[in-house]
Structure 1
Amino acid sequence: MGKGGSIKIHLFLLLVVTAVFIWSAIKPASYRTWLLEVSPAVVGLIIVIASYNKFRFTTLSYVIITILAIMMFVGGHYIYSKVPLFDWIKDAYDLKRNHYDRFGHLLKGLFAIVLREILLRKTPLTKGPWLVAIVLSMSLAIAALYEIIEWLVSKISKGGEAAKNFLGIQGDIWDTQWDMLCCLIGSIVALFIFSKLHNRLLKKEVVKE
């Protein structure tokens, strides 16, 4: 794939994520919850767009960033615990909770590929066990940081409705641990499935720095 082709795909991904963001902002279940849920994705997208000419990721990383942003926009629009498809799954399989948040944290494991790319391109690390170990550690650290932020928001807002929706515990006292475990599993799976593809794209798309 040529440079021009990659740029066209990147532009298409930007248009898709922008369209979903606009949809998400139209009459969400709660604007306060929506703001809390989508803010991290919006900040991340702004950073990625602003640095596009200075640090251009592979198309795989941009696809992952798009998927994660869309996942957060959908969760913000409906509230994670009330996403319709996962309400249907809950009812169909007689589950105790809506599992969209668990699904979301599993997907967040895909971010391991983005972290892998940053480390390979900006540090002396090379492919191998140490790279895998550090990427997994960073993924888990980010997941833990996100849980701490959720807790702090709940404390600062003194347990308001928006904060409860943001936490999304749904009565499970082990929700935080489950979320971090899902992210770790997602990261392991992402590295196992996508590392070879990622290596090929790094060779094809990235100019040596």
Structure 2
Amino acid sequence: MKGKSILTIHAMLLLVVTAVFIWSIIKPASYLSWALEAIPAIIVLMIALSTYNKFRLTTLSYVIITILAILMFIGGHYTYSKVPLFNWLKDTFDFKRNHYDRFGHFIKGMLSMVIREILVRKTLLTKGTWLFWIVTSITLAISAMYEIVEWISFVIGKGGKTAKNFLGNQGDIWDAQWDMVLTLAGTIIALLFLSKLHNRLLRKELGKGLSNY
């Protein structure tokens, strides 16, 4: 892709995520719940924007960051256990729970591609088995850390409504384990199916010094 077309795509991604952000903050189910869900996405977006000129990522990484931010803004607006589309799926297919949270954790496995990019550009790692498993391990570590944050918020919130909304286990004692398993599955699928595309974009968009990818 040429420079101008890449910049146009990146600008469109920023416009989309900004529009969803504005929508999400208008009359959410709870402003405190919204803050707990949305702040991590806001932090990542601020880092991406502040480092854009110094350490520009591939379009694939920005697409993934956009998707994940939108998922978190939607979850923050409704709370993860009450997203309407997944309530409809729950009622239609007689599910025991709203699966938006688990869908979100599966999609969060795509974060592995952003981690992969940082590692191949900032370390001596090259494509192969070591890169695959180190990226997988880091993604799972982030997932586990998020579960710990949810647990801490529940303890601090003394099991109140906001804490329960943030925890989002919907009565499932194995919710944290399910979340991490789904993130693992999403990570492996993303690495298997997106790595070749990622390698091409590293060469085309970032050029020299990345010929091994």
Superposition TM-score tier, normalisation by shorter sequence? over 0.9
Q: Which amino acid letter does the alignment assign opposite residue 54 of structure 2? A: K
SS at match of 2:183: helix
Question: Alpha-carbon deviation of 1:45?
Answer: 0.4
Question: Alpha-carbon deviation of 1:189?
Answer: 0.4
Matches of 1:177 and 1:89 in 2, distance apart? Answer: 23
Residues 18-97 of structure 1: pairs in structure 2 closer than 5 A: 18-97=18-97
Q: Which amino acid letter does the alignment assign opposite residue 187 of structure 1? A: T
Matches of 1:208 and 1:120 in 2, distance apart? Answer: 13
Q: Deviations over 1:26-65 (max 9, x none)?
A: 0011111011000100011001100101110000000000
1:146 aligned onto 2:146: yes
Runs of 4+ in structure 1 off by over 6 angstroms are none
Question: Alpha-carbon deviation of 1:207?
Answer: 4.1
Q: Which amino acid letter does the alignment assign opposite residue 127 of structure 1? A: K
Matches of 1:92 and 1:119 in 2, distance apart? Answer: 43
SS at match of 1:142: helix
Q: Which amino acid letter does the alignment assign opposite residue 167 of structure 1? A: L
Where do 5+ consecutive residues of structure 1 fail to align? none
Percent identity reads: 66
- Scaled by the length of structure 2, the TM-score of the pair is 0.97
Which deviates the most, 4-13 or 63-72? 4-13
CA RMSD of aligned residues (A): 0.8
Matches of 1:19 and 1:43 in 2, distance apart? Answer: 17
Where do 5+ consecutive residues of structure 2 fail to align? none
Matches of 1:22 and 1:208 in 2, distance apart? Answer: 38
Question: Alpha-carbon deviation of 1:208?
Answer: 3.9
Matches of 2:16 and 2:198 in 1, distance apart? Answer: 22
Q: Which amino acid letter does the alignment assign opposite residue 87 of structure 1? A: N
Match of 1:166 in 2: 166
Match of 1:187 in 2: 187
Matches of 1:166 and 1:3 in 2, distance apart? Answer: 41
Match of 1:99 in 2: 99
Matches of 2:47 and 2:162 in 1, distance apart? Answer: 26
Matches of 1:48 and 1:159 in 2, distance apart? Answer: 34
Q: Which amino acid letter does the alignment assign opposite residue 185 of structure 1? A: A
SS at match of 2:56: coil
Match of 1:196 in 2: 196
Matches of 1:192 and 1:168 in 2, distance apart? Answer: 30
